[in-house]
């Protein structure tokens, strides 16, 4: 299994990461070295096993359906790179 440059660009787009052109070849070769390890997962012993998503077989607990946090909008928005009137600012989306 190895990535082509086109596939790399497609994945980078899905991940919303711009890849600097001068990094593409080195990056592709690193990713292919990593993905090469995944060939081991073709091991036939795995075929019949149940996938394991979580180390403990526990069910999700539910908390009481009450407000616990209150309004923390201002505090939480203080770390935003751009904001105005309690709204996050982004470049114009609709012309």
Partner 1 sequence: MSSNPQQSASGDSELINASIAQLRQRLESGELRATELASTFAARIEAIDPRLNSLISRVDPVGSADADGRLAGIPFVHKDIFCAHGTRTTCGSRMLADWVAPYDATVHDKLSRSGAVLLGKANMDEFAMGSSNENSYFGAVANPWDEKAVPGGSSGGSAAAVAARLVPFATGTDTGGSIRQPAAFCGVTGIKPTYGRVSRFGMIAYASSFDQGGVLAKSAADCAEVLGEMAGFDPHDSTSVNRPVPDYYTTLDDSIAGLRVGVPKQWFSEALDPAVGDAVQAAIDELRAAGAEPVEIDLPDADLALAAYYLLAPAEASSNLSRFDGVRFGYRCEDPKDLQDLYERTRSEGFGAEVKRRILVGTYALSAGYYDAFYLRAQKARRLVAEHFDRAFEQCDVIAGPVTPTTAFDRGAHSSDPAKMYLEDIFTIPVNLAGLPGMSVPAGFVDGRPVGLQLIGRHFDEARLLNVAHQYQQRVDWHERMPSIAVDSSNQ
Q: Cβ 60 to partner 1, closest distance in Å? A: 6
Q: Cβ 38 to partner 1, closest distance in Å? A: 6
Q: Cβ 73 to partner 1, closest distance in Å? A: 11
- Binding-site ranges for partner 1 (CB under 8 A): 1, 3, 7-8, 11-20, 23, 27, 30-31, 33-43, 45-47, 49-56, 58, 60-61, 63, 72, 75-76, 78-82, 88, 90-93
Q: Which helix (H) or strand (E) holds 87?
A: strand 87-88
Q: Give the CA radius of gyration of the chain.
A: 22
Asked whether 18 and 37 are in contact (CB, 8 A), the reply is: no
Q: Cβ 67 to partner 1, closest distance in Å? A: 14
C-alpha angle with apex 12: 42 to 5, nearest 5 degrees? 70
- CB closer to partner 1, 50 vs 85: 50
């Amino acid at each position: 299994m190895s990535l082509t440059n086109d596939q790399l660009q497609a994945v980078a787009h899905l991940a919303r990461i711009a890849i600097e052109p001068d990094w593409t070849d080195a990056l592709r070769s690193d990713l292919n070295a990593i993905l090469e390890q995944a060939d081991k997962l073709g091991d036939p012993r795995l075929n019949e096993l149940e996938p394991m998503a979580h180390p403990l077989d526990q069910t999700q607990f539910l908390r009481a359906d009450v407000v616990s946090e209150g309004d923390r909008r201002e505090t939480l928005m203080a770390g935003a790179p751009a904001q105005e009137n309690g709204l996050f600012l982004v470049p114009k989306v609709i012309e």
